[in-house]
Structure 1
Amino acid sequence: MTVNLSLYTKEFSKNLQIAYPIMLGQLGHILVGFADNLMVGQLGAAPLAAVSLGNSLVFIALSLGIGFSFAITPLIAETDGADDIENGRKFFHHGVIMCTINGVMLFVLLLLAKPILYQLDQPIEVVQLAIPYLEIVAFSMIPLMVFQALKQFADGLSQTNYAMYATLLANVVNIGFNYVLIYGFWIFPRMEVEGAALGTLISRFFMLGLLYIILKNLKVFKPYFNWSRKEGVDGTIFKRLFKLGFPTALQMLFEVSIFTASIFLAGMLGTNQQAANQIALNLASMTFMVAVGLSVTATIRVGNQKGKKDYVALRTIAFSILLLIFIIESLFAVGFILSKDILPQVYIDNAEVITIAAQLLVVAALFQLSDGIQVVILGSLRGLQDVYIPTLICFIAYWIIGFPISYYLGKAEVMSATGIWIGLLSGLTASAIMLYVRFNYLTKKLIRTKQQLVTA
């Protein structure tokens, strides 16, 4: 037993070496929202709920865009494992084009989606504050999607530090502009909720520019930045990116949209319930970024082994990451339970909101394990370039199992906001179980098939 366990734990160091910059970078994205929530929360429950409502649509768009960009990483990782720079360069160039187009389309779609906010049975004061916030943040989708293309490319080469640097510095920019634009300072007007949106927009342009400059001038990336005039647009490469990116986007959409639905359901219960829901979501999102970091690590390392056709090592590495996320998420779960009455006070000074948020954090603690396991297995399957069955699993788990439970238990006369989160827990647990079965089946099949070929 000790020998078997050491087979997995010896991979922890390399897993964390790749993962920690991704974790910090992803956490940096969440900290943009955290800074907005923290600074807008000082204005009251309605502005905080408005940011939550505006971001509900942004998160849906973001899930689609990031999902498509995730197609770049396993393809780059596979070419890196096979030492194929030429195809790696093609995937990178076409990935940048794809993500740029996606950014423009998502910007337009968010503007067209504004009237939806009036149809969601939300408090009218919250909707009126959310509309201008949404209009500004929508435009930031363009630089953010181009940034994602560069980031996923660098991740695929296991060079995960540089996107982290750009993201963390962008947070400093965001907080600075938030301060002067939300509250008004010196020559800057007091813009409140709109000021938070402008801070986000400025920081995302800064983040893109910085990462581009870093990557373009480093030796390891130079072969990939050779944009030849003879190189044309290849439809077959776009097709391959789409075949990986579209199902991945749907996977993220199904998960993000159920959490977005929780915002709408909480809003139907009242402004305080929605504000509490936003606090719990923001805190859970921070710990989730650690899982995302290990998920991307699984995609990179599984993709590398797929390129080498070493399926035994592939399975060992994947399970080592799974064990690591289990340990980490267990610690987060304990932390949420012990600090459930303290953390909400950081956001807002409202006794009712704090009490409700504390109750939600207990449920959030319970689904830490399921959430971490399911996202890491999804990353492993993405490294195998298996995306269609996992997409179906995500839909069933979140919308056939999770949402009906959230809808029923989330009624005011049943369990209110706590019931909404029990539905989220149910969906995540179902997803984790089904995805594990899928990955276990595929990897055993790959090993068995290769052994049969060697024997023959």
Structure 2
Amino acid sequence: MQLKDYTKEFKYNWKLASPVMLGMLGHTFVSFVDNIMVGQLGTAELAAVSLGNSFMFIAMSLGIGFSTAITPLVAEADTAKDFIKGKSSFKHGLFLCTVLGILLFLMVFFAKPLMHLMKQPVEVVELAIPYLDLVAFSLIPLIIFQGFKQFGDGLSMTKYPMYSTLLGNIINIVLNYLLIFGKFGFPELGIVGAAYGTLVSRIIMVWHLWFLLKGKEKSKAFVTNIKFFVLDKLMLNKIINLGAPSAMQMFFEVAIFTAAIWLSGLLGKNPQAANQIALNLSSMTFMIAMGLSVASMIRVGNQKGLKAYYELRRIAFSLFLMGTMFAVSFALIFFLFHNQLPKLYVDFNDAKNLIDNTEVVSIASKLLIAAAIFQISDSIQVLVLGALRGLQDVKIPTMITFVSYWLVGFPISWFLGKEDAYGSFGIWLGLLAGLTTAAILLYIRFNHLTKKLIKVESV
């Protein structure tokens, strides 16, 4: 097969993936704006947002990971033109996302005392707890939004979740400005103001996406007249069987990055703030790979519905190639500008915090070198994972992610991340090892499965 057989798919891949990328970037941009605005208050406030969001990342990973079960089921039903199956997949998925959103809120709300047991800086914990109360409640609208988003993705209507996310960003930025700093007569709430901005913007996002989908002929019948509590046990089980392993896959990856936040906290507030800067920057580039991963899930799901396994493999490889090209580009940007990018997050005109800010930028610039290297393995692992979800293969990949991140990555982060070893940089070397292991093992799994399917198809 020639290179053009893969590159000719780039245009459609981009058409499908770019709205998802912008929507994903929108989620991360909320955190980016919060960090930049909160960073003006001081390094303790930035570390507090980092600590509070570390709990949120774990909960979000479970909710977002679970919701991905909706996309391949809707994509397969859409290709087969089976409206009843598609609506059932969406309705049951939305019901489970709502229940899960409530449970995750309660989990985070009652987990707050753990902050005192984690040996984090006292000043940081006291700031983080009131922030977390409000942000935890925003999990409910966020996971419901994910249910609608994954449904829209499954119908290849990827631009509408993007519009809602962009609207949410605008509202979040405005409310942050008004409530963090107390502008135009609003109360000056500090980091709690950032939490209010996040909560309100997420509620509006849910309403706006439902409104858009209700207005489109292709999706109107799916999102109206939903008999929410008339449930089919078989469909619930099917979504749980797909969603639970997908949730665990995302949890295992996000949890190791969260562990990196906690390990950084053991080194002090400045290493923790530096870790947050590097994590936030690498999260934004990761959203490009996530967009292509969703496109991979949709397109593989479509080809699975057609039972066209040779085409499925060719299309998947076109996405893998495209993602790798993006990853190499971002790796170069991080490497070339590793000294400049962290400076966006701190105020060097703040004489009171100048020493702290200088140390934070120094640590973060080193972390960006590690982040530059793992751009490639991170992109490959999430793209292949998307393709495997499109094949509705979730159990073995879940085991692979656990082994990669927690039996390979975390022990390295723990051992090399101590103050008398490599400190923050050592923590990120563990992340790099885990991501690289996952990329290799997941690719082997996808390669094996698709060759097996093609062999059966040709018999």
Q: Which amino acid aligns with 1:270?
A: G
1:254 matched residue in structure 2: 252
1:85/1:223 contact within 8 Å kept = no
1: distance between equivalents of 2:194 and 2:364? 23
2: distance between equivalents of 1:8 and 1:191? 52
Deviation at 1:95, TM superposition (A): 1.0
- Residue 122 in 1 paired to residue 129 in 2? no
2: distance between equivalents of 1:379 and 1:193? 35
Deviation at 1:450, TM superposition (A): 1.4
Deviation at 1:223, TM superposition (A): 2.4
- Matches for 1:304-343 after TM superposition, within 5 Å: 304-343=302-341
2: distance between equivalents of 1:268 and 1:223? 52
Deviations 1:333-391 (A, max 9, x none): 00001111111000013111101000000000000000000000000000000000000
Deviations 1:67-113 (A, max 9, x none): 11000000001111111111001111111111111111111111110
From 184, 187, 196, the counterpart of 2:182: 184
- Residue 385 in 1 paired to residue 392 in 2? yes
Deviations 1:114-172 (A, max 9, x none): 00111111000000000001100000011111110000000001110000011011101
> Cα gap change, 1:270/1:230 in structure 2, threshold over 3 Å: closer, same or farther?
closer
> Cα gap change, 1:69/1:229 in structure 2, threshold over 3 Å: closer, same or farther?
closer
From 404, 412, 427, the counterpart of 2:419: 412
2: distance between equivalents of 1:149 and 1:303? 17
1:434 matched residue in structure 2: 441
- Any stretches of 5+ residues in structure 1 without a counterpart? none
SS in 2 for 1:362: helix
- Matches for 1:255-270 after TM superposition, within 5 Å: 255-270=253-268
2: distance between equivalents of 1:192 and 1:442? 51
1: distance between equivalents of 2:41 and 2:273? 12
From 282, 287, 290, the counterpart of 2:288: 290
From 202, 206, 209, the counterpart of 2:207: 209
2:96 matched residue in structure 1: 98
Deviations 1:49-84 (A, max 9, x none): 000000000000000000110000000011111111
2: distance between equivalents of 1:311 and 1:186? 59
Q: Which amino acid aligns with 1:405?
A: I
Q: Which amino acid aligns with 1:310?
A: A
SS in 1 for 2:2: helix
> Cα gap change, 1:334/1:218 in structure 2, threshold over 3 Å: closer, same or farther?
same
> Cα gap change, 1:140/1:230 in structure 2, threshold over 3 Å: closer, same or farther?
closer
Tell me the matched-pair count.
Answer: 450
1:40 matched residue in structure 2: 38
Q: Which amino acid aligns with 1:376?
A: L
2: distance between equivalents of 1:56 and 1:100? 22
2:47 matched residue in structure 1: 49
1:244 matched residue in structure 2: 242
- Any stretches of 5+ residues in structure 2 without a counterpart? 349-356
Deviations 1:30-50 (A, max 9, x none): 000001100000000000000
2:74/2:86 contact within 8 Å kept = yes
Q: Which amino acid aligns with 1:367?
A: F
TM-score, L = length of structure 1: 0.98
Deviations 1:422-455 (A, max 9, x none): 0000000000000000000000000001111xxx
Sequence identity percentage: 56
* Aligned Cα root-mean-square deviation (Å): 1.0
> Which moved further from structure 2: 78-87 or 312-321?
78-87
From 64, 67, 87, the counterpart of 1:66: 64
1:346 matched residue in structure 2: 344
2: distance between equivalents of 1:365 and 1:243? 35
> Which moved further from structure 2: 375-384 or 212-221?
212-221
2: distance between equivalents of 1:352 and 1:112? 34
> Cα gap change, 1:345/1:73 in structure 2, threshold over 3 Å: closer, same or farther?
same
> Cα gap change, 1:161/1:228 in structure 2, threshold over 3 Å: closer, same or farther?
closer
From 349, 367, 371, the counterpart of 2:374: 367
2:94/2:144 contact within 8 Å kept = yes
1: distance between equivalents of 2:389 and 2:77? 15
Deviations 1:409-428 (A, max 9, x none): 00011100000000000000
1:168 matched residue in structure 2: 166
Deviation at 1:293, TM superposition (A): 0.2
2:95/2:228 contact within 8 Å kept = no
Deviation at 1:230, TM superposition (A): 11
Q: Which amino acid aligns with 1:138?
A: A
1: distance between equivalents of 2:444 and 2:122? 45
SS in 2 for 1:54: helix
> Cα gap change, 1:334/1:219 in structure 2, threshold over 3 Å: closer, same or farther?
same
1: distance between equivalents of 2:175 and 2:220? 34
Deviation at 1:227, TM superposition (A): 2.5
Deviations 1:221-245 (A, max 9, x none): 1221342669931011010000000
